[in-house]
């Protein structure tokens, strides 16, 4: 049994010797950025792996979210979830857009389609759902609402790398879908992100926006930003892609063991998974319910005292942050499901390399 601290996730890193040839090629051709050969190769490889037609790589997922909103010229109000990482709503504010929070579904923790319609106003221009923990949103219901009210849909798919529904990649839904390749994600480039584009024209505009708005050396058509992925990160992504299937298989096994170990523990609920979905097992959240002997925060501290560092994803709610709590939609009485989830959720460690002994110890500490 390892004495090293166990964190909720650790980045998967291939053997260093496999990266040396990529690094040597970067050194030899002296192309470090601006859509170099590794950047182009990674875009092509990801399109094939993910089953999408067009993808634009970014320096990180947050800049990708900001740019996705810019590319669709979103203004006014956007309906979104309070139960996510802060970047989801921050990207709206950076674009001068007002977030409007609606509650989540108690089974998936995704945006509840039944609550979206009541939040639509004349100022609403888009919906920004999140595929929370990689569990797909109800994409059919959300798209129907968007079509009825002529709204755009931008999916924050930071958790959803490789996730598929019955008809293929979950990333094909909405007007745009945004990925994160942060070090904690299922697939990482140390730092990185991407926008899944529905057509070549959209990709051209997004590529211009992430490069200061340049069309060519002397023509600038938009107030863009520097969101380009470096050759170093793209090379790491190409190497990671060779190992990602093994990483996904490892996560699936860990998920199954947790479910077996915790199924009979009173007061602990594991979120269910749809059999129709090809999951990526990005996170393993449990709910510490009122009939568990100690509180969620006490269990959190107990695990930390034993060298295990879970995370309370997502606590506090985005809507509880100072810059959002004054919004009418942020009031807790409007968000009872999200509020309860934030007070009960605890994400356990799940990553390739988590040993059977460590997983058994985590489960035993919870069962005690």
Q: Could you read off the pLDDT tens digit of each residue along the chain, which spans 368 residues? A: 456 789 998 887 888 999 999 999 999 999 999 999 999 999 999 999 999 999 999 999 999 999 999 999 999 999 999 999 999 999 999 999 999 999 999 999 999 999 999 999 999 999 999 999 999 999 999 999 999 999 999 999 999 999 999 999 999 999 999 999 999 999 999 999 999 999 999 999 999 999 999 999 999 999 999 999 999 999 999 999 999 999 999 999 999 999 999 999 999 999 998 889 999 999 999 999 999 999 999 999 999 999 999 999 999 999 999 999 999 999 999 999 999 999 999 999 999 999 999 999 999 999 98
pLDDT at 4 (0 to 100): 78
The phi, psi pair for 160, rounded to 5°, reads -105, 25
Which CATH number fits the domain that encloses residue 271?
Answer: 3.90.1150.10
| Same domain, yes or no: 53 and 103 | yes
* Residue where a domain stops, chosen among 239, 265, 286: 239
| Same domain, yes or no: 83 and 137 | yes
| Same domain, yes or no: 251 and 179 | no
- Work out the number of other CB atoms within 10 angstroms of the CB of residue 147: 10
Using DSSP's 3-state secondary structure scheme, residue 87 falls into helix
DSSP 294: S
4 domain-assigned: no
Beta strands per DSSP E along the chain:
6-7, 54-58, 77-80, 98-101, 124-128, 152-156, 164-165, 168-169, 176-180, 193-197, 214-216, 219-220, 268-270, 284-288, 308-309, 345-348
Give the closest residue to 263 by CA, choosing from 355, 367, 341: 367
Q: What is the domain count for the chain?
A: 2
| Same domain, yes or no: 252 and 226 | no
109 domain-assigned: yes
| Same domain, yes or no: 174 and 316 | no
- Cα separations in angstroms, 366 against 231, 258, 361: 43, 11, 9
Distance between CA atoms of residues 160 and 164, nearest Å: 9
| Same domain, yes or no: 199 and 273 | no
274 domain-assigned: yes
Residue 53: CB partners within 8 Å, gap ≥ 6?
A: 47, 197, 198, 199
Distance between CA atoms of residues 72 and 57, nearest Å: 17
**121 dihedral zone (left: phi>0; alpha: psi -120 to 50; beta):** beta
pLDDT at 12 (0 to 100): 79
pLDDT at 2 (0 to 100): 52
The phi, psi pair for 137, rounded to 5°, reads -70, 170
* Residue where a domain stops, chosen among 214, 239, 264: 239
| Same domain, yes or no: 201 and 216 | yes
Range of the domain at 212: 16-239
| Same domain, yes or no: 254 and 235 | no
pLDDT at 112 (0 to 100): 98
pLDDT at 13 (0 to 100): 83
| Same domain, yes or no: 338 and 228 | no
* Residue where a domain stops, chosen among 239, 272, 295: 239
| Same domain, yes or no: 52 and 127 | yes
Integer Rg of the chain from CA: 21
The phi, psi pair for 130, rounded to 5°, reads -125, 130
| Same domain, yes or no: 251 and 206 | no
Greatest CA span in the chain, whole angstroms? 67
227 domain-assigned: yes
Sign of CA dihedral 203, 73, 164, 346: positive
pLDDT at 363 (0 to 100): 97
| Same domain, yes or no: 109 and 214 | yes
Which CATH number fits the domain that encloses residue 133?
Answer: 3.40.640.10
The phi, psi pair for 344, rounded to 5°, reads -115, -20
Partners of residue 78 on adjacent β-strands: 99, 126
Partners of residue 309 on adjacent β-strands: 7
């Amino acid at each position: 049994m390892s004495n090293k601290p166990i964190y909720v996730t650790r980045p998967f890193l291939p053997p260093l010797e496999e990266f040396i040839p990529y690094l040597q090629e970067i050194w030899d051709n002296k192309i470090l950025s601006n859509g170099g050969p590794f950047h182009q190769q990674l875009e092509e490889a990801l399109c094939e792996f993910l089953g999408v037609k067009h993808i634009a790589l970014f320096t990180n997922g947050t800049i990708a979210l900001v740019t996705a909103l810019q590319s669709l010229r979103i203004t006014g109000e956007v309906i979104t979830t309070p139960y996510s990482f802060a970047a989801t709503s921050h990207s709206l504010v950076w674009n001068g857009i007002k977030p409007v929070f609606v509650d989540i579904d108690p089974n998936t923790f995704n945006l509840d389609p039944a609550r979206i319609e009541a939040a639509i106003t004349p100022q609403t221009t888009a919906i920004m759902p999140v595929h929370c923990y990689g569990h797909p949103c109800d994409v059919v219901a959300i798209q129907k609402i968007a079509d009825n009210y002529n709204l755009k849909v931008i999916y924050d798919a930071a958790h959803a790398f490789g996730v598929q529904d019955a008809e293929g990649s979950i990333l094909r839904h909405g007007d745009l879908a945004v990925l994160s390749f942060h070090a904690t994600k299922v697939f990482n480039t140390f730092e990185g992100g991407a926008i899944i584009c529905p057509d070549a024209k959209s990709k051209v505009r997004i590529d211009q926006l992430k490069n200061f708005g340049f069309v060519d050396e002397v023509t600038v058509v938009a107030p863009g930003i520097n969101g380009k992925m470096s050759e170093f990160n793209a090379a790491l992504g190409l190497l990671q892609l060779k190992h990602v299937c093994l990483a996904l298989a490892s996560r699936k096994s860990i998920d199954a063991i947790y479910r077996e170990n915790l199924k009979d523990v009173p007061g602990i609920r594991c979120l269910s998974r749809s059999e129709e979905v090809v999951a990526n097992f990005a996170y393993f959240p449990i709910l510490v319910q009122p009939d568990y002997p100690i509180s969620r925060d006490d269990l959190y501290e107990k695990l930390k005292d034993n060298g295990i560092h879970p995370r309370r994803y997502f606590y506090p709610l985005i809507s509880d942050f100072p810059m959002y709590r004054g919004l009418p939609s942020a009031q807790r009485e409007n968000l009872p499901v999200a509020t309860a989830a934030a007070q009960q959720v605890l994400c356990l460690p799940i990553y390739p390399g988590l040993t059977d002994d460590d997983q058994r110890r985590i489960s035993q500490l919870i069962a005690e």
